[in-house]
Chains A and B, each alone.
Chain A
Amino acid sequence: MSSATTQADREYPATRGLHLFAVFTAGATFLLIVAGALVTSRDAGLSVPDWPLSYGRLMPEMIGGVFYEHGHRMIAAFVGFLTIILAVWTWRADQRRWVRHLGWSALAAVIAQGLLGGLTVLFLLPTAVSVSHACLAQLFFSITVVLGLVTSRTWCEQGRRLAAPWPPSRPSLPVLCVTTNFVTFGQLLLGAALRHKGLGIIFHLIGAAAVAAMVFWVLARVAREHSGDAGIFSWALALNGLVMLQLLLGAGAYWIREVTRHAVQPLWPMVVITVGHVALGALILALGVVLTFQVHHRFGRQTSSSFEPEGVPATT
């Protein structure tokens, strides 16, 4: 393979097939997050008391809550299967070592995620395990999105063209972006802790203010210094839009939980709003990470070419 490396391969260190597959996996993962959020909103997590089988079977009767819990398990198994293929494919087809490692991390994450999901059922949803399961889901989704991003031809070709000097302002834009990612992740954690009854809403509200402040700071910086760079500006703008929407959905989630406090069963407006809030949280994190990668791509390393092929993947 190394002997056959051509100039075109150097320009595009991944393949179109891999890119499409990574995007597909990311899409399936988003569905999986929606399915997982449905389980919590419908309070169906313990409708199947056993794991890894469901009522001792691969396919139980899908009545009531079992539909949500077992449906979630089925989509999860599918995504796990996709992730195995994705990791192996990346390892075979991508020339960048860090991307290959990212593929393996995705696999490690999905395995850990499956175990956390099983554990939380067997131990009757302890807050710490459920919250870890919720947070790792968000992290895993962002990993699949990044894999989809960095295996695209556009991304790979952009790197060379757009290389720019580091911006002078402090803290630098890349630092601002990475900080935003961490703050967002922290907010997802606080949201999960709230939803799984570990913490009160006040922490999550403070987190919301912090996230809103960070994304606005990023936007202000981008607008001042990079407004001509649509690749960054539009992402920063979209991120702010989504966070705005998320503030509304969050307020909606709080309100609907309050007014349906005495409901006999989960009502669909509550389910739609809370699931939407979780799903949008996943999108916000992923979009923020994409923005970080875009920014890093421009300012990260303009000196040498950013993806020197690193030879044939080590076979172990």
Chain B
Amino acid sequence: MRFSRSVSGWMMAGLLVFSLACGGGEDAGEVADAPEMEEAVVTVDPAKAATITGKVKLEGDPPRMPTINMSAEPDCRGLHEAAPPAEVVVAPDGMLQNVFVWVKSGLEGKFAVSDTPAMLDQKGCIYSPHVLAVQTGQMLKISNSDPTTHNVHPLPKTNREWNRSQPAEGSDIEYKFPRQEIMIAVKCNIHPWMRSYISVVNHPFFAVSGADGSFEIKGLPAGSYTVEAVHERFGSQEMSVTLGDAESKDIEFSYNAS
């Protein structure tokens, strides 16, 4: 008697927790609003704008990149001629792609948020691009070009984590990250090899190194900055750069593969 009452107590508690859970789950992945812009927006006179250009090198033997085994997803396997390589890309002449480079400190004030949306596509069960950067409050559109379902699951630490499924013909997921955060891993738990990194920055002065390892950050006001390069595997490096009006500086980051 007493025992059956305690069992029903358990169930009641369970139901309560369950209903709370449903309430909590609903809003996951909603488009968050950009933080209010109270400070005046800084504008840089194009005639005085400075530029940082550069390259990212990888010294030593690059790690052997395993290929992805997509047999669990025939729909995607069929979209690739050969098994695609894992996504840390080193160009033949030792240049490193997919390095996120940004002005880490030295900037003052607020900058206008770009109204061009950033795009992240899922194609052949691979994220394109592999490394992406947006401004806080900038629209990010995530599309699915695959004949299969993905779940889009960013794993931020200071922004809010969310997880949304996106069917084959699903409409784009739109999201604005409200807080600055570097190299947020994004993954798909259906296809465990899928991984990309999104950096969210409070200003527009960032870039991602291209296939030749080069990057360019334009439109900077004159000043002394700390520029940081971050790679998913090889970590981060910093460099101080001082720029005068309309000055252009070329820098080089160099990682060691061993």
Contact = CB atoms under 8 A, between A and B. Distances in A.
Nearest to B165: A49
Contacts of A101: 3
B163 A124 contact: yes
A63 interface: yes
Interface residues of B, number: 41
B68 A49 contact: no
Contacts of B192: 42-44, 64-65, 265-266
Contacts of B10: 108, 111-112
Contact of B191 (A49, A65, A104, A314): A65
Interface string A44-79: 111111100001000001011111010000000000
Contacts of A67: 72
Nearest to A44: B189
Contacts of A44: 189-190, 192
Contacts of A55: 149, 165
B191 A112 contact: no
Contact of B7 (A65, A69, A108): A108
Interface string A238-267: 000000000000000000000000111110
B21 A265 contact: no
Contact of A111 (B11, B73, B86): B11
A118 B18 contact: yes
Contacts of B7: 104, 107-108
A47 B18 contact: no
18 contacts: A46-B151, A61-B149, A63-B73, A63-B75, A63-B190, A64-B191, A65-B192, A66-B190, A108-B11, A111-B10, A115-B17, A118-B21, A122-B22, A123-B24, A263-B66, A264-B86, A265-B69, A265-B193
Interface of A: 42-50, 55, 61, 63-67, 69, 101, 104, 107-108, 111-112, 115, 118-119, 122-124, 262-266, 314, 316
Interface of B: 1, 3-4, 7, 10-11, 14, 17-18, 21-22, 24-25, 28, 63, 66, 68-69, 72-73, 75, 86-87, 148-149, 151, 153, 161-165, 187-193, 195, 233
